[in-house]
Chains A and B, each alone.
Chain A
Amino acid sequence: MIRLALNKLGYSALLLMGLATLAFFVVRLAPGDPAVLYGDEGADPDAVAAMREQLGLDRPIGIQYLRWLGLTEPYEGILQGQWGVSISKHEPVFDAVARAVPNTLLLAVSALLVDYLLGIWLGVVMARTAGRRLDKALTAVGMFIYSMPAFWLSLMAILVFSLWLGWLPATQMNSRDVDQWGLIDQILDRIRHLILPVCVLGIPAAAATARYVRYSVKDTFEKPHIRAARAKGLPESRVMCRHVLPNACLPLITLFGLTFPFLLGGSVIVETIFAWPGMGRLTVEAIYGRDYPVIMATTMIGGAMVVMGNLLADVLYGLADPRVRLRARR
């Protein structure tokens, strides 16, 4: 198992390096010049040239790449752990990323919890009532929610719960002056701000998860060992928890591997609409602003998360399914 994981890790490092190289050249060759973007409208060509020189953009692209890696002077590149300075914000990229990551993690983990807890519960309910009215109704509602675009769902949620009912705050992570409140009030305030974006991210995802679980649980119900367990007289809750769900949830591990990158990648649309200062907003603002060091950092993080997600899914599969462990040993 460990050898399998190490093999994958080595392969992943190469993959990441390839991704970084590709991203670097694609981003640099895309039209748009940060020196023009951050200058005055119609800035003097000499001023633009001076700015390009200051940012190191006047050098050949190959040299820029080596510099980004840290293989040329001043030897302060990604290989030395230096992510550079943001062109637009004039701050170390590490600081910008370090500020965004916890916010995105909070949002994404909360949404993932809603996704899996609600999705598994609904999936089981639908499997147990398969073909009946409740199953059909849940399927229809689930499909409706899942097919709604995130921006529409976000705006509707804000419209109903913030503007019309006034129950929940529309945007941002906390209320103004929250730093003058007590700890409990601060936590409650954060939870109130989390509810809408978490629901917008988590509920449509739960609708999809419920579909996976429904088919998987229904399929497992019909397996002989489940019939045997029931014939032995095991209570239904025990049959479900000990025999059905562990088998039925195997496909969810694959799903988790695919979902994992979004934990840090952030949701651009939801973070923008709810003014949530996470990785999604950081990435999209960097792309629009041609902030090359930030784009590279977020690309590397995104790539690393994809690789880690796959790795984690493989490991979890091994842990959950003895057949995989046996194959690895052979």
Chain B
Amino acid sequence: MVIALPADADVLNPILWGGSSTGTVLQFLFADLTTQRFDSTQGLVVDEPGLARSWEWSEDGRQLTIHLRSDARWSDGVPFTSEDIRFAYSLYGQPKSGTARTTSLVHLPRMATGALDVDQAISIPDDSTAVFHFLRSYERHQQLNHAGLYSVPRHVLGETDPDSLRSSPYNVNPVSAGHYVLKKWIRKQEIELARRGDWSIPRPAHVDRIVFRILPDMSTRLIELKTGGVDVVEGLSPDEADEIERSDLDIRIERQSHRRFDFAGWNHIDAEVYRRSGGRTIRPHPIFGDRRVRRALTMAINRRELLVGWLGAYGQLCEGPVSPALRWAYNDTLTPMPFAPDSARRILADAGWEDHDGDGILDRKGQRLEFTLVTNVGNPRREFAVQKIQSDLQKIGIQCRTRLLETNQFNAGLRKREFEAFVAGLSTNLQADLQNQLGSDLERSVLNYSGYRNPVVDSLLNAASSKTELIEAGSALKKIQAILMEDQPLTYLFWFDNIVAINNRVKGTHVSILSVYERFYDWHVAAQP
């Protein structure tokens, strides 16, 4: 089976990896502690035994004991033990190692140097048991996730100084613990994996050989798909998917829906004052600080037309940051904001924004209702959204200039909350953990690009995060969505599908919100006729 990747892997060392292409490859090489499955009836991620045959929590919910299977072995034949888990975490927790995976360690004890206190954090009573000692009790699936970072073999890397991990030969020739083993890696061309006959956790894989071909350009990825050079291509545009659907090619389209959304962000705080004070002074934005204006903006944008115009059937309207797929958390009782430009104009008039000077642009106390809407260049979906929003707002007397920025520059500006208005996107969190997107602590809530602050939302976020079972957090999350509907901190535009094209010779695929490659070990390739 051949999978097209847009970029080469950086390293095949779980401690150091960064890019999404690397993440795709690693999941075939390294097994998870738990096998995750998305239960679409409840909208919950369900953990089933993987490398861990069972797990349990202490009474206070702070200790998670993991019992490992005894038959798991590294690809070099050495048994996989709890020592490997603790060793891996000692590297994850060591700032000198240069890992990017530290988000999972925030609830584990640290030393004064900032490094993970691995002796306090993880105890290993025996080779098949690892006990994680968290600082506090929190949602259990999240705790399992945080304990489930990929392990690395202590018998291979044990002598390696964390400082020199970046130049370790292991990075390009890993000993792995999963269904596949690295067979060949030709940099920037292809990565080849071979199935391990001795791995059956939770089930043996069917495909003997998986080749990842590095094809940076989407057009060539599609041509290779059509000529049979590759079997799986992700990230098609709706037009490309439609063309394949209409053709008589032996290729099918599958979709990963309700995972990522685009939104128009309105900066609630005065960006100039915020920037000049280094983030210490926060003043409401003269336009977007007013909830009535934000509501009017949402009502003035024809989101349905925007959705149909670009995504067609490959997207859904978005009303908030919680995915409708997460049934336990999604509030389906709310009435979506309508497209009502006349009402929007009335709301703006109530807020004092009227065309006093007759120039066609609304104004208030001498200030015109005008701003610059920014997005990143090279993303045609967002470029289309920006143009449509500009056109819709113009119709009710709002002057919206547009500006396209290089992606890195755009992302840096978002994190610094430099833009007045912007079109950006986020990935929904399957635990519906919204702290990072909505928390009032702007220093820590780095995804709260618009500087939204609401103490009621904060207390509900805290209430949700204190629950040990996800379903118990549902009530607080639904209340948050109701508040967001009123506040309109952002104008949520649409969920866009990750469109995947798969050659029909590949059977048994299960593209889900969890992953395109969920249960990849069940995939198989039909014999050529």
Contacts and interface: CB of A to CB of B under 8 A. Distances in A.
Interface of A: 30-33, 36-47, 50-51, 53-55, 85, 88-92, 96, 99-100, 155, 158-159, 162-163, 166, 170-174, 176, 272-275, 277, 281, 285, 288, 290
A31 B10 contact: no
B227 A163 contact: yes
B202 interface: no
B166 A88 contact: no
A293 B415 CA distance: 24
B96 interface: yes
B95 A54 contact: yes
Interface stretch (B25-33, B210-218, B393-401, B488-496): B210-218
Given A90-B166, A162-B223, A288-B408, A44 B102 contact: yes
Interface in B161-177: 166-167, 171-172
A179 to B, nearest CB: 8
Interface residues of B, number: 55
Which are the 10 A-B pairs with shortest beta-carbon distances? Answer: A32-B408, A277-B188, A38-B18, A47-B102, A31-B412, A31-B409, A50-B95, A39-B100, A42-B447, A90-B166
Interface in B153-194: 166-167, 171-172, 187-190
Contacts of B2: 176
B79 interface: no
B238 interface: no
A49 B435 CA distance: 20
Given A273-B217, A275-B220, A277-B187, A31 B100 contact: no
Contact of B103 (A40, A100, A274): A40
Given A51-B98, A170-B220, A41 B447 contact: yes
16 contacts: A32-B409, A38-B100, A39-B100, A42-B436, A45-B443, A47-B103, A54-B98, A89-B11, A90-B166, A90-B167, A96-B187, A170-B224, A171-B229, A172-B215, A275-B188, A277-B214
A170 B227 CA distance: 9
Interface in B446-468: 446-447
Contacts of B11: 89-91
Contacts of B167: 85, 90-92
A30 B11 CA distance: 26
A174 B412 CA distance: 39
A81 to B, nearest CB: 16
Interface string B92-119: 0001111011110010000000100000
Nearest to A175: B229
Contacts of B190: 172, 176
B215 A171 contact: yes
Contacts of A159: 223
Given A30-B409, A273-B220, A275-B217, A43 B444 contact: no
Given A31-B413, A32-B412, A275-B216, A43 B443 contact: no
A274 B100 contact: no
Nearest to B429: A42
Contacts of A31: 406, 408-409, 412-413
B98 A55 contact: yes
B19 interface: yes
A92 to B, nearest CB: 7
Contacts of B171: 90-91
A176 B102 contact: no
A281 B188 contact: yes
B227 A275 contact: no
A32 B414 CA distance: 11
A55 B411 CA distance: 20
A44 B413 CA distance: 17
B187 A45 contact: no
Contact of B226 (A40, A155, A163): A163
B219 interface: yes
B19 A85 contact: no
A158 B223 contact: yes
B98 A99 contact: no
Interface string B11-30: 10100101100000000000
B427 interface: yes
B1 interface: no
A39 B20 CA distance: 11
A88 to B, nearest CB: 5
A281 B189 CA distance: 12
B430 interface: no
A38 B10 CA distance: 10
Given A33-B412, A272-B216, 12 more contacts: A31-B406, A37-B408, A38-B19, A42-B103, A44-B102, A55-B98, A88-B18, A90-B10, A158-B223, A163-B223, A173-B189, A275-B188
Nearest to A269: B217
Contacts of A172: 189-190, 213, 215
B7 interface: yes
Contacts of B281: none
Interface string B59-103: 000000000000000000000000000000000000111101111
